[in-house]
Chains A and B, each alone.
Chain A
């Protein structure tokens, strides 16, 4: 058996690396039309013609000088993990800029293959690329690929195998002009004395990076055998100048080749530009954005209603049936009151969740997400966050876990920390069941408006908190906004539906695991000690609830709500699941049972929704906050801050609401 060949996919952001990765490995990694979708390296396997491949999908990067956390991941993998072949995925419609990265990769002496992706689009625009000729100029194998249709995959793998087995690899370098070359030679000399370094990286590449003032490479040199001499050479030069000159030389080299391989006719005003003139307009931009959001939440609520009614009726009937007909009675109660009522209470909201995910998928796939960040840049900047931070916030409407990961593309550490800390206030889909349940029970026709209020409240709290953190514990300048605006693409029904389903099925899996567990736990607490009336104050659940009740009593919550809130820490849907269990299986649905409970009023329901929106990140979100901040201190802060804010706002809302909604 031959050994496995490890291929790393690299390239500029949003050139289709992940689409190609999915096509190669049959994976279903998340793809979207905005820069920064992939923030973690992803691995997949494929075997073709007796060859085993491990394919690694890396975050996008514009150059090998890393600036943000996701770029560091991409660069370190190529430098330190030494994959057998690096495949640079190149956007054929943006050749010049993509080849700039090529000139840097070529200096690494790593086996390199170019996948000329989106080749069909370049051809459709009347810019076909003579890639054989280009390959000759660059001395790098080039394969034409169309990731979305899976074209050129076999050729790409063949080229990768061939390149991996070719050795030695000659350096493809660019001449940087006399002055720079002299400095490179001067630096190479002491560098060759550092055995560990010269064994690992090409000397010329090290010298070039040092000349550019690359902090990361300088850190590698520091403390080694070459340290003193290199630093004395570098102290005499202005690396900014060299960086600019060498970049010029690279672009000059590219400019010399390009006219020979394709017609460089830049399109003037494109369809995307025309759309942008409207959606990013000074006066229209924000109203359009808000209208889209409003429409999204109206849809989430109205379209789903008939489906919900069906699931609701089915759940109630099943639970009743289980309690009535399964022997022994305790098992019937576990299945009926516990599992079916608990999990069913959450499953009812699958239609809402699916619609929400579909809308998010459409936003991501169309390219509008990047525009939303652009529109919000100014208001966010004024409040102490870069516009880029708005993307994780919108992703947070789906789930805070990937949203917090998405902050990796934010360059400044402080900006990133603030974005992480405020993200849990963005109302994720797990909170939706709570709103739908309570808004539906207490606000009837105005339920859509109430939900919209909650989402806006979440954004407002996130933004106000960002402002607060910026002016107190994390002071500093907002990092400047630089972001690519990808061309708009018409999302295909297939990809958007797949998007929706891959996330929707996660919700289902969650219902079958953590929510099921939560429901059974609450059932057990409500049933024991043996002999107590189910769900009464004498049960364990009752005792636990009464213990916590004083803390939430000022908000108008009774012990049942308190228990639900405690278990909601596992996942916010569990709040609904727990209430489903505690109110048990009756002839009425949970909505009616809540409405009939005299201890709950519209004002209390609103306070409860506000509390659930804000009170603390779920276990999964806390895990990712710890991972991304690397600090228990900040993780603990996120919990404590959330609880305090939730309590205060729920108190205020609960006490003010009666004046607006006509009595409690």
Chain B
């Protein structure tokens, strides 16, 4: 691990591990239910728009950058 940063800042193709989710009432529960829990492995699939597409396991989610700023991740060593 090389420290944490918001998921929104990762480039497409980056793999990372969720460290913390702080999204506020309601949205927090939704994200946890979707699988964005600490230690979940996520990969940014698409990052060239206002929203990003992230994979968690075999699921793919579109998240606005605002929400992706509230999911903190640690970047695994070796990946871009």
Contacts and interface: CB of A to CB of B under 8 A. Distances in A.
A and B from one assembly?
yes
Contacts of A282: 48-49
B60 A487 contact: yes
Contacts of B59: 94, 97, 484
Nearest to B46: A280
Nearest to B24: A240
A381 B50 CA distance: 9
A537 interface: no
A347 B19 CA distance: 60
Contacts of A484: 34, 59-62
Contact of A63 (B32, B41, B58): B32
Interface stretch (A243-251, A324-332, A521-529): A243-251
Interface stretch (A135-143, A195-203, A270-278): A270-278
Given A97-B34, A100-B32, A378-B50, A482 B27 contact: yes
Residues of A in contact with B, size category: 35 or more
A62 B62 contact: no
Given A62-B30, A67-B30, A280-B49, A481 B64 contact: yes
A97 B50 contact: no
Interface in A20-72: 61-63, 65, 67
Contact of B57 (A97, A244, A387, A411): A97
Q: Which of A251, A480, A487 has the most CB of B within 10 A?
A: A480
Contacts of B66: 480
A62 B64 contact: no
A93 interface: yes
Contact of A381 (B34, B57, B64): B64
A257 interface: no
A387 B49 CA distance: 12
Contacts, number: 138
B35 A63 contact: no
A483 interface: yes
Contact of A277 (B24, B32, B46, B51): B46
B19 to A, nearest CB: 11
A89 B28 CA distance: 23
A276 B46 contact: yes
Interface in A89-117: 93-94, 96-97, 100-101
A337 interface: no
B58 A267 contact: yes
B57 A276 contact: no
Interface in B7-43: 20-22, 24-35, 37-41
A633 to B, nearest CB: 27
B5 interface: no
Contacts of B62: 370, 373-374, 377, 387, 481-485
B67 A482 contact: yes
A213 B26 CA distance: 10
Contacts of B50: 377-378, 381
A212 B27 CA distance: 13
A266 interface: yes
B26 A411 contact: yes
B32 A247 contact: yes
Contacts of B4: none
A182 interface: no
A273 B58 CA distance: 11
Interface string A368-380: 0010011101100
A311 to B, nearest CB: 43
A387 B35 CA distance: 21
Nearest to A388: B62
Nearest to A100: B33
Contacts of A267: 58
A119 B38 CA distance: 27
A84 B32 CA distance: 28
A251 B39 contact: yes
A100 to B, nearest CB: 6
Interface string A465-493: 00000000000000011111111000000
Interface string A562-598: 0000000000000000000000000000000000000
Interface in A211-263: 212-213, 215, 240, 243-244, 247-248, 251, 255
Nearest to B56: A97
A255 B48 CA distance: 32
Interface string A268-304: 0010110011001110010000000000000000000
Nearest to A267: B58
A266 B58 contact: yes
A383 to B, nearest CB: 12
Nearest to A264: B57
Q: Which of A100, A381, A485 has the most CB of B within 10 A?
A: A485
B22 A240 contact: yes
A377 B30 contact: no
A67 B22 contact: no
A48 B60 CA distance: 38
B51 A97 contact: no
Contact of A482 (B25, B39, B64): B64
Contacts of A480: 27, 63-64, 66-67
A63 B60 contact: no
A219 to B, nearest CB: 14
Nearest to B34: A62
A101 B55 CA distance: 19
Contact of A62 (B24, B33, B41, B63): B33
| Interchain residue pairs A-B with the least CB separation, the first 3 | A62-B33, A378-B50, A63-B33
23 contacts: A61-B33, A65-B26, A67-B30, A97-B34, A101-B33, A213-B25, A243-B28, A243-B29, A247-B37, A255-B39, A266-B55, A282-B48, A374-B49, A377-B50, A377-B64, A378-B49, A387-B62, A411-B26, A480-B67, A481-B51, A482-B31, A482-B63, A485-B62
